[in-house]
Each structure stands twice: as structure tokens, then as C-alpha cells.
Chain A
Amino acid sequence: MAKAMTLTEKIMAQAAGLAEVYPGQMITAKIGLAYTMDTLGKIVFNHLKSMGATKVFDPEKVLVVFDHFAPATDVNYANLHNEVRKLAKQFNVRIYDIGNQGIMHHIVAEEGYLVPGIIAVATDSHALTGGGLGAVVLGVGATDAAVAMATGELWLRVPATVKVDIHGSLPKGTMSRDIMLYLMGQKGWDGTRAEWAYQAIELTGETVRRMSMDSRFALCNLSSDAGAKNAIVPPDEVTRSYLERRTRRTFQFFQSDPHAEYADTISLDVSTFEPQVACPHSPDNVKPLSQVLGTKVHVATISSCSGGRLEDLHIAAQILKGRKVHPDVRMIVSPASQKIYQEAVEDGTFSTLLKSGVLIGHATCGPCHGGQLVILGDGEVCIGSVPRNMQGRMGSAEAEIYSANPAVVAASAIRGSIADPREYF
């Protein structure tokens, strides 16, 4: 009988064609999906050419999504986009281009490319988002992506797994991201001590089992900046019903063995949690909301791979319904995909937000990295449902960024300063 393995180890063993793997082992693994975006697409395709590749290993498992500067924000990007379009055509790779654009970490799940049980790689560090589906999803550089696209394989080192067992009901006003923000504050982010570096983070327990897919994606997304190799939620019936409407790919549900070995096990009761806020200028400078209430804000944004899903828009609309954004605040919303945009139009969410004085932008990563829609001037303060808050990320190095859940962002937009959403339900 094979040794007891964690969920991540099982997926890696299967991808390597081995009966068992152990942490630290080097493997050559089959890659079930590889994707890149507008900014790095050209480098990736040029690498493919350098290898002498004329096609990708499987056109159904390789994808380009335009998200970082989509649509183009200047002539350089307009030209770059055209080059990527031309290269993608040469290699017969599908692009989610303007009109179908959105944030790639969401698109791959929404469009059914990402399925449980596979290893997927993307040229962006927030790739870990996809682990919410029960797959091993890794961020990689352009070289790795190109090798994966050409050969369908990559060298990988099997990580040790940390189990985070979450129980208790999240109180009103808190969301899944508050759990990961709290843990980030404890474990340090990738720019400093990063205690979780190189490890697989398995998020489990009754609280996770009750979470929607949107919440699971947000939970895994926030773990990216803790330096983890991957984050993963054990797949279940919630996963299955999400997949039913989306994918035609075959998939496998793996679960950790009862006696699997973990590098660490953390047990967390979230029933007394309050919203968490990452304060300037680092994702691990995390404080409970009560300590930052009253901080004046000029910009509020609900957007990004971290906080631009339908659930995030719904909670914002629930809070803003019948209320106005504070006259000194600019509130900017950007959904994670065109489909989310459409759903928010059809269910009245965007109508509610428009009446409150919110600017509705298109689906792009732009607001989070200062590329478009949100650009901060000197001395401005922003609160956003974004993953990162490093100095200068949204424009001016003299600006400050607070990251928090969408309910906190919406409440703060009304108040004009960081506010408690529980006062608005």
C-alpha cells in the first residue's frame, strides 16, 4: 500500500506517474493547463520559438488572457497586444481578448479550463487563486510557462503541506479573505520572513466546506503573497456543482489521506473574528478593523483577482443600496470578468451601485496595479479589496493603500473614512 499522502502530494504523484512522492522530491510532472497574459505573452511565445517549437503541446490546455493592461493604455501596449495576437495565432492558442477579457485567475475557472486534480501553471504570482477548485496551481516565470506550453511538463519540487483547519461561522461583516489576511499577519509575507515559503497550504474544516467557490478563490488568492507554493481546498459537492455548468474536461477529486504527514497543523476558530485590514505598505502589516476605524480615504475600489467576484459585488450593493458614496470619495468597481459584469447588470447589482455614485469599470487587473481605472496621486489614501498594498503600487509613492474585504470597502466609501460594515447591514 502506498504511503499516506496529502492532497497536494497525491496530485503531484499522479502528474509524475509515481505511486508516491515525498516533500523535497524532484519530479517531472505533467502540466494540465498553462496560461499567460498580455504583458508576458510575447516573452513566452518568443521562448517557444527559441526552443524550436512550432506548436503547443495541447491547444485546449494553453491559454492567453488579456488582463493587465486591457484594453491597451498607451501605444506601447497597443503594439504589444498586436504582437501577442499575431504570435498566439501562429501557435494556435486561444486569447481571451477585449470583449471576452477578464482576470486570468478567474477566467480559467469560470470558462472550465481549470479542473480539480491537475497541476496548472500561470505567469503571475496570484495563480494560487485556482487552488480553490482542488487543483495544484502554481505561479511561474515566463521560461517555465514556455516549457510547459511546449512539452506539457515541468520540473517541480514536492512541497511539504501545512494544514489550516478552520472552524466556526464567520461573523457578519467578515469574509473568507479576513482569515487569510489574519494568517498573513502571523506568518509574514513573501517580501520578508515568509514562514510559509515553499509550502503547500491546505485549507480545510467545516468553515471552508460551507464556503462558496467565490470565497474559496479569495481565500487561496490571498495566500499567494505569503510566499506559499500553492494553496488548495479539498474538492467537494460545492466544487462539483460549480464545475457542472462550466467544464467538459474530465476531472478527479483527490483527498488527503487520514494519516498524511503535515509540516504544521493550524487550528483556527473564526467565530469571534472581526474584519482584518492590511495597512501601508506591506500585506503582512495586518490590523483588526477596530484599530484603523476613522482613517480618511479618498478612493475605494472593489476589483482584482482577490475581490472582484459576484459575491464581492453583491455585498457592496447590499451595503450601498439607498445610500450615497461620500462626496470626497471616488469609488471604482471593476468585476473580474465580462460574465460577472453581465450577471451584475442582469441582477440589478450595477444599477444599485450606479445610483450610489459608483464608477463601474471594465474587467481588468488595472485598478490593483495602478495600470488603469485607479491611479493614486500624492498624499491620497485608497481602501480596496485588492491583494497587495506595497508603496507606489497604485501610482504615487506618496499614496497609501489599505486592503480589506469588500464590505469594509463599501462602508468606508459611504463614511469617507475606514468604517465598520456591521453598521450598514
Chain B
Amino acid sequence: MPGEMVLKGKAWVCGDYADSHQILPEKYWQGGSKVGTLNMEELGKHAMEGADQNFAAEASSGKYSFIVAGRNFGGGGKSIEHPIFAIKGAGVKAVIAESSSRYFFRNAINNGLPILICEGVTSKVRKGDDLEVDLSKGEIRNLTTGARLKFAPLPDALMEILKMGGYIPYTKKKMATESSRK
């Protein structure tokens, strides 16, 4: 549900430099640009395929709520939003990374996918660990190991966008409010 402030579930972990090709191999980008639409469910079937062939199938049962990643997650210089839709389509509620590429960060927030930057997260979380993540407090509790991690909460402006489910619904509401004032 968009706007949830405390998220719970299992983590799936990948290393440094998982770029857009690993999140969603290029052969699936065409689908989006050719037909000019992005099908979340369809792209979700191929999420993380470039890093782990089994991820999407495992995630389809709702197994993983979090992708925990190393440095420069979502790099590779692609401004396309297909990788975000793939991750959302696989049922992932948030990405927690040591660092993220600029395009991935913007596109994730803009499409209602929380992206949290937390240094040291890959050393405190293993695949399958149960996490509880408090977006507004900036706290991750690893329920499996008992470890706690802090991260800088997202700025208020971005939290507002996430609460609305993304930049499109956020702008829609803003424009509607402004035009009703006129």
C-alpha cells in the first residue's frame, strides 16, 4: 500500500554495482519503448534476472519485501524507468542500498518505490532475514539477528511523493487543488 511508514518482510541481498541490465536485462526494455507503455506485472517476471535467474520466481509468491544492495545500485547510465517497474512488479516494497545511481533514485521515488541509502547494510543483512523498516524514523531492525541500523530518512518533500504513490498522482492532486482555487 503506498504511503506505509513501517514495512516488514524478508530481504533478498545482492552485491555492488547491480546495474540496470542486472535489474532488468535489455531485451525487456524494448517491450516498454516499442509499445510505449510499462507493464509492471510483465516486467516483474524478469526482475533481477541479470543477477539471479531465480529471484523473480521466488519473489512472485510475495517472498521478498526488500532488495538489499551494495554500492551504486541501478547504475549503468540509463534514464529509463523499466527497472523500477520490474522491481515493483516482483512485489518488492523498498530497496535499501549502500548507494544508488542518480537515475535509479529519482525514478524509484517518482514511481512510489522507497529507496533508502544505508551504509553498512550489506554486512548486517543476509538473504532471507526478516526486516522491519521504519521510513520516517530512519531505522532498520533485523528481526532475524537482532541488529539495528540507522539511515537518514528521506526529505519531507520526497516522503510526500511516496505517500501519494508517486510523482504522477502527487502532481495530479496538486494541479487539481490549484485549479479549484482559481
Contacts and interface: CB of A to CB of B under 8 A. Distances in A.
A binds B: yes
B161 A192 contact: no
Given A123-B79, A150-B171, A143 B101 contact: no
Contact of A46 (B26, B36, B79, B111): B36
Contacts of B32: 43
Interface stretch (B4-12, B57-65, B102-110): B102-110
Contacts of B176: 52
A47 B167 CA distance: 10
Given A141-B80, A144-B110, A194-B75, A50 B37 contact: no
Given A26-B157, A392-B26, A143 B76 contact: no
Interface string B27-58: 00000111111100000000000000000000
Contact of B103 (A40, A141, A151): A141
Interface stretch (A205-213, A222-230, A358-366): A222-230
Interface in A114-171: 123-125, 127, 139-144, 146-147, 150-151, 155
A227 B77 CA distance: 6
- The 10 A-B pairs with the shortest beta carbon distances in the complex, nearest first, are A42-B36, A190-B77, A143-B110, A141-B107, A39-B33, A191-B76, A51-B172, A76-B34, A141-B81, A26-B155
Contact of A141 (B36, B110, B157, B174): B110
B175 interface: yes
Contacts of B166: 143
A198 interface: yes
Interface of A: 26, 28, 39-43, 46-47, 50-53, 76-77, 80, 83-84, 123-125, 127, 139-144, 146-147, 150-151, 155, 189-194, 197-198, 224-225, 227, 229, 388, 392
Given A141-B103, A144-B106, A191-B17, A224 B77 contact: yes
B170 to A, nearest CB: 8
A42 B38 CA distance: 11
A47 B71 CA distance: 31
A155 B157 contact: yes
A84 to B, nearest CB: 8
A155 B75 contact: no
A125 B78 contact: yes
B40 to A, nearest CB: 13
Contacts of B35: 76, 80
B82 to A, nearest CB: 10
Nearest to B170: A147
Contacts of B101: 190, 194, 197, 227
Interface string B94-134: 00000101110011001100000000000000000000000
B77 A225 contact: yes
A140 B36 contact: no
Contacts of A26: 155, 157-158
Most chain B C-beta atoms within 10 Å of own C-beta, residue among A28, A46, A229: A46
B168 interface: yes
Contacts of B36: 41-43, 46, 80, 83-84
Given A52-B175, A190-B77, A140 B106 contact: yes
Contacts of B79: 123-125, 127, 139-141
B142 interface: no
Contacts of B99: 197
Contacts of B175: 51-53, 150-151
